[in-house]
Amino acid sequence: MNPFHRDFARGFRAVVPLWLGVIPFAFAYAVTARNGGLSLAETQLMSLLVFAGGSQFSAAGLFATGASGVEIILTTFLLNVRHVLYGMSLTRQVPMSSAQRLVAAHFLTDEAYGVTLASGESSFAFLLGAELSLFLPWNVTTGVGALAGQVIPDPSRLGVDFVFPLAFLALLIPLLKGWTEVLVAAFSGLLALALSRVAPGGVAVLVAGVAGSLLGALFTADGTPSPRPTQEEASP
């Protein structure tokens, strides 16, 4: 197996455990879209061309209420604006050509970003494998869900809505190698939570991400590495 295929397979496998959350949400999106008046082809094309779970749910709901195109585009933009930060962060870790950046940008998801960042991988093949590992089940189950109709229960009742937040928490913990990382993560999380009560989720995450980045830069401005907690300090 050549290096590209090897890294691609590793990235693909790294995201497979998250399929548990992807599959029921893809079904639920498809049912929501069909109920909102979208055709089978339109429902599937949105998963292929937009590929953003939260934005697709919102767009489908707005279609159902007769919202204008401007409202739909603005809402989906605000929900996905956090991907700007994801892309800037990934380009520092994963060297990519202009063409590779375009491909990676289209398939980028929260999960693929988190898995790639936590793994420390610098291979485009790994990133692409992680991205397509969600793209495949999302689109397959979108098609099946669009055909199945209203037979899929609400994902929140199944408890699968906790899969992605818990997965991100599991990815975050190994990155907290010193007190600087812990403080920045806590500050960003609390700020995002507070802003989410008065601003769209995408804006809250973007502002918290920028603020957290500035705080981290302030703490490390002198080039001193983040101090690691001693064994005595780390012990309960």
**Burial per residue of 162-172, b for 16 or more beta-carbon CB atoms within 10 angstroms, e otherwise:** ebbeebbeebe
Q: pLDDT above 90 covers what percent of the chain?
A: 29
59-78 pLDDT per residue, tens: 888 888 888 888 888 888 88
Are 115 and 23 in the same domain?
A: yes
Are 208 and 150 in the same domain?
A: no
Is 73 part of a structural domain of the chain?
A: yes
pLDDT in the model for residue 62: 84
Residue type, 57: F
pLDDT in the model for residue 158: 55
Query: How many C-beta atoms surround the C-beta of residue 11 within 10 A?
Result: 25
User: To which residue do tokens 């800037």 refer?
Assistant: 88
Q: How many domains does the chain have?
A: 2
Name the nearest CA neighbour of 17 among 93, 111, 145: 111
Q: What does pLDDT average to over the chain?
A: 81
Is 203 part of a structural domain of the chain?
A: yes
Are 142 and 208 in the same domain?
A: no
**Burial per residue of 104-123, b for 16 or more beta-carbon CB atoms within 10 angstroms, e otherwise:** beebbbbbbbbbbbbbebeb
User: To which residue do tokens 């998963």 refer?
Assistant: 47
Is 42 part of a structural domain of the chain?
A: yes
Residue 24 CA to chain centroid, in angstroms? 16
Structural element, H or E, at residue 39: none
Tell me the pTM.
0.72
Are 184 and 169 in the same domain?
A: no
Name the residue with higher pLDDT: 72 or 233: 72
Q: Say if residue 175's pLDDT is above 60.
A: yes
Tokens matching residue 57: 């749910």
Per-residue pLDDT, averaged over 95-111, amounts to 94
Is 235 part of a structural domain of the chain?
A: no
Q: Say if residue 235's pLDDT is above 70.
A: no
The C-alpha angle 127, 131, 136, rounded to 5 degrees, equals 145
Are 19 and 85 in the same domain?
A: yes
Measure the CA–CA gap between 29 and 6, rounded to whole angstroms: 33
- 139, 154, 175 - which closes a domain: 175
Q: Say if residue 97's pLDDT is above 80.
A: yes
Structural domain for 43, as ranges: 3-175
Measure the CA–CA gap between 43 and 221, rounded to whole angstroms: 48
Is 118 part of a structural domain of the chain?
A: yes
Decide: 212 and 193 in contact? Cβ < 8 Å.
no
Are 101 and 195 in the same domain?
A: no
Are 139 and 209 in the same domain?
A: no
Is 54 part of a structural domain of the chain?
A: yes
Per-residue pLDDT, averaged over 97-125, amounts to 92
Per-residue pLDDT, averaged over 150-167, amounts to 57
Name the residue with higher pLDDT: 5 or 69: 5
Are 57 and 169 in the same domain?
A: yes
Name the nearest CA neighbour of 185 among 171, 201, 198: 171
Are 39 and 111 in the same domain?
A: yes
Is 234 part of a structural domain of the chain?
A: no
Is 38 part of a structural domain of the chain?
A: yes
Enumerate residues 6+ apart whose C-beta is below 8 A from 12: 129, 130, 132, 133
pLDDT in the model for residue 232: 45
Q: Say if residue 233's pLDDT is above 60.
A: no
Are 14 and 58 in the same domain?
A: yes
Residue 44 CA to chain centroid, in angstroms? 20
User: To which residue do tokens 């936590």 refer?
Assistant: 118
